[in-house]
Amino acid sequence: MERYEIAIIGTGPAGLSAAITATIRNKKILLIGNALLSEKVEKAQVINNYLGLPSVTGKELQEAFLQHLKELDITITETKVNTIYALGDYFAIDCGDNNTYEATCVILATGLSVVKPFKGELENIGKGVSYCATCDAQFYKNKVAAVVGFSQEEESEAVFLSEMADKVLYFPMYKTDVSLGDNIEVIYGEKPQSIEKEEEKICLVTQQSKYPVDGIFLLRDSVAVQQLVPGLKLVDNLVEVDRQMQTNLKGLFACGDITGAPYQYIKSAGEGNVAALSAVSYLNKKK
Ligand SMILES: Cc1cc2nc3c(=O)[nH]c(=O)nc-3n(C[C@H](O)[C@H](O)[C@H](O)COP(=O)(O)OP(=O)(O)OC[C@H]3O[C@@H](n4cnc5c(N)ncnc54)[C@H](O)[C@@H]3O)c2cc1C
C-alpha cells in the first residue's frame, strides 16, 4: 500500500495551511476532508480579522483558499475519517468510504469536537459498536442491527445494511417521517442513553427501553475525538499539544480549533503552519 509522508485530516484553515506548507516543503501529502472546505468558512457573513483581507465574506475566503490549493496542485480526498491507529512507525487511517490509508505522520485539523460519546460506546468499539455500515455490513448477514442516524443522509447506510441483515432497528435523531425498507423498523422519539454488553448481544439502552441486538451503528456527521484517535491525550475534550503542535503520540500533530481557544481563522492557519513544519522536521529526523 502506498504510504504518504504526511496525512492531514480536515479542510478548514488549519488543515489547508498545513497542506500548503507541507507541499511547499516537498512532502508527499494526503489531504482528507470536504471539497467545499469548512462550513465554518463558507457560512461566515463578514470577516474582519483575517490579515490582509478586511471585510472578506466567508464565500470569498473559501474561493481564495480553493484557488491557493489549485495553484499548488493540492487535491482533496473527500471522505470521513473514522479512526486513526498509531502503529509504531506509521499510522493507519480508516475511512468511511471503506478505504484505509497509511502515513508516517498525521496532522489532525478536524475542528472543535462537539460530539459526546454515549456511556459504554468507546469501550465497545469493535465489540459491536461500529461507525460505518459500508465498511462493516458484511458482518451482519442474518443478524439484527440497530442504527442511530443523526441526519437524513444516514438513511442510505441503513438501507444498505438491511440488504445484508435480517432486521434493522432505525432510530432517527431528527424530526422527519422516515420510510425505509420492509425489514427496517423505525423507532421514533427514543434517545439512546447508553450501550451495554450482555453475553453475545450488545444492548442499546434508551430512556424507554433496552434493545439487545448483534451490532449498533452510530452514524453521526462528525466523529468524537476520543473515537478518532484511540490513546490521544485530551484535556476537557481538546487535544493537548506543545508549542510544536506535537500530541502525546509521536508523529501525530494537531492544530486549529481542536487544540482549544481562541477559535479564530488566523490562529488555526498559524497552528497549521507550525504543525506542518514540525511534521517535516520529524520526517527528516527519521531518515
Ligand atoms: C458562522 C461563523 C462565523 C465565524 N466568524 C469568524 C470570524 O469572523 N473570525 C474568526 O477568526 N473566526 C470566525 N469563526 C471561527 C472559525 O470558523 C474557526 O475558528 C475556524 O474555522 C477553525 O478552523 P479549523 O481548521 O481548526 O476547523 P474547521 O474550520 O472547523 O474545519 C474542520 C475541518 O475538518 C473536517 N473534518 C472534521 N471531522 C472530520 C473527519 N472525521 N474526517 C474528515 N474530515 C473531517 C471538516 O469537514 C472541516 O473541513 C466563525 C465561525 C462560525 C461558525
pLDDT higher than 90, residue 98: no
> What residue's CA is closest to ligand 1, atom 31?
12
Q: At what angle do helices 13-24 and 58-71 cross, to 10 degrees?
A: 20
Question: At 50, phi and psi to the nearest 5?
Answer: -100, 125
> What pLDDT sits at residue 125?
86
Q: 46-76 pLDDT, tens per residue?
A: 999 999 999 999 999 999 999 999 999 999 9
Share of the chain above pLDDT 70, in %: 100
Burial track 178-201 (b if 16+ CB lie within 10 A, e otherwise): bebeeebebbeebebeebbeeeee
Q: Give the whole-angstrom CA distance, residue 202 versus residue 104.
A: 35
pLDDT higher than 90, residue 226: no
H/E element holding 219? strand 215-219
pLDDT higher than 90, residue 208: yes
Q: What share of the chain is helix, strand, coil (3-state, %, to 5)?
A: 30, 30, 40
Q: What is the pTM of this model?
A: 0.89
Read off the pLDDT of each residue in 133-159 and give the average, rounded to a whole number: 91
Q: How far is the CA of 12 from the centre of ligand 1 (A)?
A: 5
CB 239 within 8 A of CB 252: no
Label residue 271 by pLDDT band (50, 70, 90): very high
> What pLDDT sits at residue 176?
82
> What pLDDT sits at residue 115?
84
Task: Report all structural domains of the chain as residue ranges with CATH numbers, in order of start.
Answer: 3-115+223-286 (3.50.50.60), 122-219 (3.50.50.60)
Query: Which of 38, 69, 150 most suits a substitution to test ligand 1, by most atoms within 8 Å of the C-beta?
Result: 38
Distances (CA, A) of 85 to 33, 130, 143, 215, 270: 18, 15, 28, 22, 26
pLDDT higher than 90, residue 178: no
Q: Give the whole-angstrom CA distance, residue 80 versus residue 153.
A: 13
Comparing 176-180, 226-230, 276-280, which segment has the lowest mean pLDDT?
A: 176-180
> What pLDDT sits at residue 175?
86
Average pLDDT over the chain, rounded to an integer: 94
Read off the pLDDT of each residue in 172-191 and give the average, rounded to a whole number: 90
Rg of the chain, C-alpha, whole Å: 20
> What residue's CA is closest to ligand 1, atom 53?
40
> What pLDDT sits at residue 96?
81
Rounded to a whole number of angstroms, the distance between the first and last alpha carbons of the chain is 20
Residues touching ligand 1 (Cβ under 6 Å) are 9-15, 32-34, 37-38, 40-41, 43-44, 47, 49, 80-81, 109-111, 222-223, 256-257, 263-266, 268
Q: How far is the CA of 13 from the centre of ligand 1 (A)?
A: 7
